[in-house]
Structure 1
Amino acid sequence: MKRKLPKIITAAFVLSFSVSAFAQVTDKQVKQKSVSENGQPSLITFNELSSYKGSDYQRVFKEQLGLKDTQSFQKVRTESDKQGYTHEKFQLYEQGIKVEFANYTLHSKDGKVVSMNGEYYNIENVKLSPSLSADQAFNKALQYTHASEYLWEKPLDAAELGYAKPKGELVLLPNMEQQGEKRAGDNIRLAYKFDIYATKPLSRGDLYIDAETGKALFYNATIKHLHDNVHAKKASAGSAVKNETALAKKAIVAANAETRYSGTQTIQTSLSGSSYILLDGTRGNGIQTYNSARTATYPTTNFTDADNNWTAAEYNNTNKDNGALDAHWGAEMTYDYWSAVHGRNSYDDAGAKIKSYVHYNLIAAGYSSNNNAFWNGSVMTYGDGSGTGGFDILTSLDVAGHEIGHAVCTYTANLAYQKESGAMNEAFSDIWAACIEYRAAPTKSTWLVGEDIERRSGHIALRSMSNPKAEGQPDTYGGTNWISVSCTPTSSNDYCGVHTNSGVFNHWFYILSVGKTGTNDIGSSYSVTGIGIDKAAKIAFRLEDVYLTSNSTFANARTSGIQSAIDLYGAGSAEVIATTNAFYAIGVGAAYSGSTDTTPPSAPTGLAASGTTGTTTNLSWTASTDNAAVTGYDIYQGTAFKGSSTTTTYTVTGLTPSTAYTFSVKAKDAAGNVSASSSSVNVTTTATSVTYCTSQGSSAADERIGKVVFGTINNTSTATTGYENFTSISTNAARGTAYTITITPTWTSTIYNEGYAVFIDYNQDGDFSDSGETVWTKTASKTTPVTGTITIPSTATLGTTRIRVSMKYNSVPTACEGFSYGQVEDYTINITASGTLDQEVVAGLIETTGTEKFALYPNPAETELNVSIEEADGYSYKIINTLGQQLGSGKIAGNAVDVSKLSTGIYLIELTSGDKKIVKKFAKK
């Protein structure tokens, strides 16, 4: 976040590509290639002819990037998502030395690389032997920083933040002075990288010192502030009570808290001695809120309450102590948003503890006022504000969501904090603040940032995402209020306007969510149909998590944002159109243009079914051809649409035992042309389904399974019961293929030894007792996470079956036992012959005794299910699950049916009016 500090360095530069050009494609495997200003590819997508597999990454890099013999890419992260993609991120090294910012990611589906993106640099004649020692370079760094005090000189604070005096990392750094210029090569410099944390005046960032000349080459700020500082009077110091933070076993309890900004909310606290403290041990590795007590330090000093009823009478005082309740609840709601909506376990996706420090004295740290809050790279820090003319204590829900959003960015795109990448870094934090507020407190003003704390005359908030100009920001790239990025980024110029120019990207997200019609500052008229904040958030997070890199620009964001929408919703979808046109509305790129292609693909051939069970069957067919490219296939059950696949296989689920079905397939292309139907295949499901033995822990309060990753299963759970049925979550697994399983344990406080076992019912006979069905075990240990390899045998029965994951205190569990401490989770695995990753069912079969016109949409549904039928007011409805249990009922009266509280899965909606009845299946996302 922005701050007003003495200038740290006199020259700092950042990569800031202003265009994303498209290269001429000569490789027959390549569908599209986008290049950056240095001529290197930033995004490559591959077509159906591509032969690249995920295991071919060295070949991919050599052929597509021209990787030299002196260079290598080392894998740093692998992730899978619900869309069936695997994302493998690599770091570039030149002769064993890391090249800063040079990351590339391969995106694979069904084992094939479908796209790749990142930053790559042309390294020539680079000097790899430093003239300066690390100590000499460190002294140069201190000379440029000009601070009077550093964190390593405060060992207690340094230990609390997990910080140590930097030793210097030798890296290769692209020459930032060339940024923005067309060039044939990249001037790379050998540099020492230091994480410099100064405490007076306060600053933290990565400072790069030339290893030959000692010049400061680049400064990347780590501390992210909420806004520009406002001058204010110094507040009086408050009192603090010191308490032990050790959490007794089973001492976590719920409490009512009368917050300053969000009314009475339920928070999680812990009993410490005879008092309760703001420590939540139920989320990740904990959420704790401390009291800095008007000092510029990070003590382990707690807010305390004797009866665990945190009332306004006690905390709405002149010291603004009730602001700590907002900070604590805001951190909890932020954790819940990332967990529930994006399947992320804290900001680092590894359960990192979220620490917040309230009543931090920014004036004592060298600032002009206490009107700010920031993420310092380790913890949340909140100033008290100055009240009238400035801000109230800066602990509101959207501020908490914003600041923790910076931590999320660090562990995803890691956008460099200057110029366009820095503006997007700020904008993503505002976007997540809006999403968190929308989910946790929908009555608040979603599209205003900081409205709760605003106390300045003539302002309604810090920023407005719906109308950025109202608070002095631009809403158009290069338009009114835009700050030129042709500058040297320093703290005094807000690193070339990161807090100002963020308004443009904020407005993109607003337009994508709710829609807008108008003319922007560069004269482009636009009309965008919004897709809703939930879908917009999925596109935005995929953009940040999967595609953006440290020095991405708005142009890069447009290219990758459109690709994110394609990944999630398909080429030519309403979501892709809206994403494209929302970028056009903010002055980035052209409006969406449909294709004039009218030639449909050929009809699929060779449709066959295999591995049929009582509820599922596997369909496969021969690929269609097209004059451009086939983008996918639609599957039909009889004449009803059943689902879509981007491959030549599809697993049909939700079928009824002992029932005959007919299936067919049609191909489609990017222009929306649809082929003739394939020939039909007839399937009769088997008679019965199997029943599995029970296994569970008696208590999962102190230790449980926090996350399971296997194939495309990537499930984070916060439940504390001894058994969890996650069979609605599934993955494909191919015979003869090895898969990695990762299990992350969660402990409430004390870390215990845990044993693990995984079982798969390979022959689908309803037990795990056959030879080879105990597929992996690990003896008891405190390791986290634990990983293993499971190879699917060639004799495994094709089709869906059960996989059981078990964690037991101090010993290895068996398949069907009950035990005292730990947890068991069941999932579904679909055994395939080819290893393809199939799509889930998205629609169902309609059965009706009436003749009325009828429609049910969207299907699958996320929050609302619309029913269109003649004489709708005469119908009542019931929602029924696959066990025949009624989960809801009501009248159809022109309003959508609320399905937001249903779990992911298949359901029936039964409509009745007199002797008329309509029954239809639908899917809940």
Structure 2
Amino acid sequence: MERKLPKIITTAVVLTFSFSAFSQVVTDKRVDLKNLSENGQPSLITFSDKSDYKDKDFNTVFKEQLGLKDNQSFSKIKTETDKEGFTHEKFQLYEQGVKVEFANYTLHSKQGKLVAMNGEFYALENVKTTPKLSNKAAFDKAIVHTGAKQYLWETPSDATAMDYEKPKGELVLLPAMEEQGQLRKRDHVRLAYKFDIYATNPLSRGDLYIDAETGEVLFYNATIKHLGQYSHGGAASGNVAAKIDNSIFENTIVAANAATRYSGTQTIQTTLSGSSYILSDVTRGNGVQTYNSARTATYPTTNFTDADNNWTAAEYNNTNKDNGALDAHWGAEMTYDYWSAVHGRNSFDGAGAKIRSYVHYNLVAAGYPNNNNAFWNGSVMTYGDGTGTGGFDILTAMDVAGHEIGHAVCTYTANLAYQKESGAMNEAFSDIWGACIEYRAAPTKSTWLVGEDIERRSGHLALRSMSDPNSEGQPDTYGGTYWINVNCTPTSNNDYCGVHTNSGVLNHWFYILSVGKSGTNDIGNAYNVTGITIEKAAQIAYRLESVYLTSNSTYANARTSGIQSAIDLYGAGSPEVIATTNAFYAVGVGAAYVGSSDTTAPTTPTNLIASGTTGSTTNLSWTAATDNVAVTGYDIYQGTTLKGSATTTSYTVTGLTPLTAYSFSVKAKDAAGNVSASSTAVNITTLATTITYCTSQGNSTADERIGKVVLGTINNTSTGTAGYENFTAISTNLTQGVANTITITPTWTSTIYNEAYAVFIDYNKDGDFSDSGETVWTRTASKTTPVSGSFTIPATASLGTTRVRISMKYNAIPTACETFSYGQVEDYTINIVAGSAVVQELVTSEIGKVTDDSKVTIYPNPVVTSLNVSLGEAKGSTFKIMNTLGQQLAVGTLTESPVDVSKLTSGIYFIELNKGGKKIVKKFVKK
């Protein structure tokens, strides 16, 4: 497919990187680099040491560098200073006193000296600024075009809650938006009225531009940013919580435990208001508060309430999905913390704005076909409940919260127009921030999948994948497979020319920049990028969005500004600049990095050893490499997968699986971008890990206790009278995919009381019972004896021994980690075995010979994407991968490269190696 990046005009300036935006020959000795936008105007100018421009010389620099005319002026709208010591002054362009929409220009200075400037500029001539159409006539045309049944200003209470009022209209000069993504031969603007139209049925909000001469609709810039374009039929149900006083700031602020739907039990901040606790946190900025829309299409001040501030699964994991509100609240808190701690930003607007979330919003009542969506409406977060199977679960997962609030950050920074390439990057940045927030707050989740917690559609792992965009129908290359042609008229029906699809390109750029990747992209470019870690990639991405991009930026602009961001942060020629450039090249945007003349790689690191290995960590150390230029660091590989980077000669590998074989190696890299050969590998096997579980018990068994438990081969009559009994020495085998019955018999000493029950199993063996599905059975309080229930071990459960907890509590369903007044808790052990006829690790060949499999190992196990098979006896073998039913899923020939298992779903699989009449079968777990 032909690439649609702007044509490149060569420059006479010799740089340490190449770029793909328009450039011009630079004759001004004060200028190092001048990049031109599609209309031929400078989009980025950097200044040399010979420049004498000061930050106060803005009028002079605008006239000399942009050719600002007498009928034009710039007005300063914002000044910010970052932690690197740069001051950024943003200006708005006016023509004859009328604002030119999106035409912002920013001057970047350090210690009073101007170092760069960038933005959108339009050299306008013969512009008419007197409208033929009245404001009212234009507004009437806007209403006819919108065609809604109802508008927010017609419901004053909701309008006030959103800080919104009926639009009065603003006269502006609008650049020719239809020409974005094409070569503009001249500057072209049209006088227009701008209206912020908020319709509530059907729901929409955006800035609508009406031509002030003809009444034509020129452009719609959507304010409501949805999570995605997926839709599925479904109906909403009702749920109403008590409405209470919202005057809370004088009341008690406390921490609470919250059993979230997607992230286990987490600590949140709440407020005691009257006699109940509500989801209001006033410790972060101007507040974080979560409300209940109660299955309406409105924004009431209805709070979720709790009497004792212990927000348990028993109370909130209900058919209304109220525990989703706990995810929304915790996700908003973690989003605030991420922006504050990592980027020094005080909420989405940088000034502490209150983050408000509304859960149980009824999109069907707002004119949508279903509730499978979440969105930022320009003021607040709004979450639908989803439709469940075939659609999404309630859309309050952490990366969804981070994504939607990320749209608000974009509004207050680059303000990327919601169409074509700028809109695709708007969506991509939200995915990037969702991934970064999830990585920081919940590192065990799938960082590079978007919306995996809410996904309930068959055949989908998530809504989007940043590591493999193609797997969910997005392009990983500019102009490649799944790319949407942006030369179209943006409407909601075509997703504003593919903003949710083409975002995959910037998503994949960020993934490659973070962890590294090698391969060949869709336009035939072979690449090899060394990752710089997600932390550094996030700093570059934030600077790109917050400092350099402007409303109508394209992918070409993003590349140029991304490289400049890396230079600002890490220095010209640094590994970070090299990686940023090559990551853009990997996704088809611009050329690869052109470095110095040094092409000699560092020497290979030697004496790699591992020490202090535990069940989840090992310490690596090695002898330093040498080089013609400075060695800037080392990349650590687990098999062929980049595990991390270090600037010293040691690295601690974390997140390993107990009793699993691993192989590690190290490569050195230098300032010129050269990478050494790989060190000799070191092989380790992690130790078993001792897991410590939370405590839970009844304070008194004088009146009631557990008398007998029957589960599988466990048939234990207990005479113990302690509030907690440890029977983990008693175990039974339970099979994946098979239904199991548990029977509990209570014992009363005299009076028969109502007893409730719960059974918990640590399926993933991580030392808690808080993951999804680990509360396997509950029974409400009754006097029935005995009580029985059934559950099925899921195919994703980790094989081997783990703990089962059985709890009986007077009059209320117990949780896994509580101490209660009356009743008892007992722990047992179960051994989870695979539900398959394929059970042998070592299989005889068809001619009866037994293969020695001691020379063949596979790692890591469990595996995420790449399964390494040690060579030796296995080299040259054909292989096939089978599921637990014996069905063949993949075949191939074993080479030096790992086996790609990224497209397998989570579960148990077998890899069969065949060579010379011999056969070896190895079992592995796909996470």
**Range of TM-score over shorter length:** 0.5 to 0.7
Secondary structure of the corresponding residue to residue 57 of structure 2: helix
Matched with 1:228 is 229
Cα deviation for residue 578 of structure 1 reads: 0.3
1:831-870, aligned counterparts within 5 Å?
none
Matched with 1:282 is 283
Equivalent residue letter for 1:422: G
1:647-686, aligned counterparts within 5 Å?
none
Cα distance in 1 between the residues matched to 2:44 and 2:131: 34
Matched with 2:802 is none
Contact 1:229 1:369 in 2 (8 A): no
Q: Greater CA deviation, 183-192 or 47-56?
A: 183-192
The yes-or-no answer on 1:157 pairing with 2:158 is yes
Cα distance in 2 between the residues matched to 1:389 and 1:89: 47
Contact 2:513 2:529 in 1 (8 A): yes
1:543-582, aligned counterparts within 5 Å?
543-582=544-583
Q: Which runs of 5+ in 1 are unaligned?
A: 1-14, 599-633, 635-669, 673-925
Contact 1:16 1:421 in 2 (8 A): no
Cα distance in 1 between the residues matched to 2:421 and 2:291: 34
Equivalent residue letter for 2:213: E
Cα deviation for residue 25 of structure 1 reads: 0.6
Equivalent residue letter for 1:430: D
Contact 1:174 1:187 in 2 (8 A): yes
Contact 1:253 1:269 in 2 (8 A): yes
Contact 1:543 1:557 in 2 (8 A): yes
Contact 2:284 2:336 in 1 (8 A): yes
CA distance 1:248–1:209, change in 2 (3 Å): closer
Matched with 2:424 is 423
Secondary structure of the corresponding residue to residue 54 of structure 1: coil
Equivalent residue letter for 2:270: T
Cα distance in 1 between the residues matched to 2:175 and 2:228: 29
Cα distance in 1 between the residues matched to 2:93 and 2:547: 17
Cα deviation for residue 139 of structure 1 reads: 0.4
1:478-497, aligned counterparts within 5 Å?
478-497=479-498
Secondary structure of the corresponding residue to residue 55 of structure 1: coil
1:98-109, aligned counterparts within 5 Å?
98-109=99-110
Cα distance in 2 between the residues matched to 1:213 and 1:494: 26
Cα distance in 2 between the residues matched to 1:248 and 1:343: 25
Cα distance in 1 between the residues matched to 2:496 and 2:442: 33
Contact 2:466 2:508 in 1 (8 A): yes
CA distance 1:469–1:597, change in 2 (3 Å): closer
Contact 1:17 1:179 in 2 (8 A): no
Matched with 1:142 is 143
Cα deviation for residue 174 of structure 1 reads: 1.1
Equivalent residue letter for 1:231: H
Matched with 1:450 is 451
Cα distance in 2 between the residues matched to 1:47 and 1:103: 23
Cα deviation for residue 240 of structure 1 reads: 1.9
Cα deviation 1:839-886 (Å, max 9, x = unaligned): xxxxxxxxxxxxxxxxxxxxxxxxxxxxxxxxxxxxxxxxxxxxxxxx
Cα deviation 1:107-156 (Å, max 9, x = unaligned): 10121111110000121111111111111110011111111110000111
The yes-or-no answer on 1:373 pairing with 2:384 is no
1:491-506, aligned counterparts within 5 Å?
491-506=492-507
Cα deviation for residue 475 of structure 1 reads: 0.4
Cα deviation 1:815-848 (Å, max 9, x = unaligned): xxxxxxxxxxxxxxxxxxxxxxxxxxxxxxxxxx
TM-score by length of 2: 0.63
Secondary structure of the corresponding residue to residue 458 of structure 1: coil
Cα deviation 1:224-250 (Å, max 9, x = unaligned): 000114222212211221011111525
The yes-or-no answer on 1:131 pairing with 2:132 is yes
Secondary structure of the corresponding residue to residue 365 of structure 1: coil
Equivalent residue letter for 1:274: S
Matched with 1:770 is none
Contact 1:290 1:357 in 2 (8 A): yes
Contact 2:6 2:22 in 1 (8 A): no
Contact 1:16 1:552 in 2 (8 A): no
Contact 2:232 2:390 in 1 (8 A): no
Equivalent residue letter for 1:371: N
TM-score by length of 1: 0.63
Matched with 1:355 is 356
Secondary structure of the corresponding residue to residue 359 of structure 2: strand
Matched with 2:208 is 207
Contact 1:16 1:179 in 2 (8 A): no
Q: Which runs of 5+ in 2 are unaligned?
A: 8-19, 600-631, 633-670, 674-927
Matched with 2:81 is 80
Matched with 1:337 is 338
Matched with 1:904 is none
Cα distance in 1 between the residues matched to 2:307 and 2:530: 53
Equivalent residue letter for 1:412: T
The yes-or-no answer on 1:113 pairing with 2:102 is no
Cα distance in 2 between the residues matched to 1:17 and 1:112: 32
Cα distance in 1 between the residues matched to 2:336 and 2:672: 41
Matched with 2:175 is 174
Cα deviation for residue 78 of structure 1 reads: 0.7
Matched with 1:240 is 241
CA distance 1:514–1:290, change in 2 (3 Å): same
Cα distance in 1 between the residues matched to 2:230 and 2:440: 29
Cα distance in 2 between the residues matched to 1:17 and 1:463: 28
Equivalent residue letter for 1:497: G
Contact 2:182 2:487 in 1 (8 A): no
Cα deviation for residue 181 of structure 1 reads: 4.1
Cα distance in 1 between the residues matched to 2:275 and 2:556: 57
Runs of 4+ in 1 over 6 A off after TM superposition: 15-19
Cα deviation 1:431-469 (Å, max 9, x = unaligned): 000100000000000001100000000001111101111
Cα distance in 2 between the residues matched to 1:546 and 1:594: 25
The yes-or-no answer on 1:468 pairing with 2:469 is yes
Cα distance in 1 between the residues matched to 2:318 and 2:204: 31
Secondary structure of the corresponding residue to residue 572 of structure 2: coil
Cα deviation 1:168-204 (Å, max 9, x = unaligned): 0111111223334434421211111000001111000
Cα deviation 1:32-87 (Å, max 9, x = unaligned): 11001111000011101001000000000000000001111111111111211111
Contact 1:17 1:551 in 2 (8 A): no
CA distance 1:303–1:671, change in 2 (3 Å): closer
Equivalent residue letter for 1:187: H
Contact 2:249 2:282 in 1 (8 A): no
Cα deviation 1:607-626 (Å, max 9, x = unaligned): xxxxxxxxxxxxxxxxxxxx
Cα distance in 2 between the residues matched to 1:671 and 1:450: 38
Contact 1:373 1:381 in 2 (8 A): yes
Secondary structure of the corresponding residue to residue 302 of structure 1: coil
Equivalent residue letter for 1:281: V
Contact 2:33 2:47 in 1 (8 A): yes
Cα deviation for residue 671 of structure 1 reads: 8.0
Matched with 1:44 is 45
Cα distance in 1 between the residues matched to 2:189 and 2:22: 23
Cα distance in 2 between the residues matched to 1:94 and 1:230: 43
Cα distance in 2 between the residues matched to 1:355 and 1:272: 17
Q: Larger relative CO (CA 8 A, sep 6+): 1 or 2?
A: 1
Instruction: Please tell me the root mean square deviation across aligned C-alpha atoms, in Å.
Output: 2.0
CA distance 1:62–1:444, change in 2 (3 Å): same
Equivalent residue letter for 2:402: G
Cα distance in 1 between the residues matched to 2:598 and 2:116: 24
In our comparison, the structure showing a higher alpha carbon Rg is: 2
Cα distance in 2 between the residues matched to 1:125 and 1:515: 51
Cα deviation for residue 17 of structure 1 reads: 6.5
1:59-98, aligned counterparts within 5 Å?
59-98=60-99
Cα deviation for residue 298 of structure 1 reads: 0.4
Cα distance in 1 between the residues matched to 2:377 and 2:167: 16
Cα deviation for residue 594 of structure 1 reads: 1.1
Cα deviation for residue 16 of structure 1 reads: 9.9
Matched with 1:57 is 58
Equivalent residue letter for 2:421: E
Secondary structure of the corresponding residue to residue 241 of structure 1: coil
Equivalent residue letter for 2:336: Y
Cα distance in 1 between the residues matched to 2:559 and 2:180: 20
Cα deviation 1:512-537 (Å, max 9, x = unaligned): 00000100000100000000000000
Matched with 1:540 is 541
Cα deviation 1:347-391 (Å, max 9, x = unaligned): 000000000000000001111110000000000000000000000
Cα distance in 1 between the residues matched to 2:481 and 2:103: 34
Equivalent residue letter for 2:354: K
| Percent identity (aligned) | 78
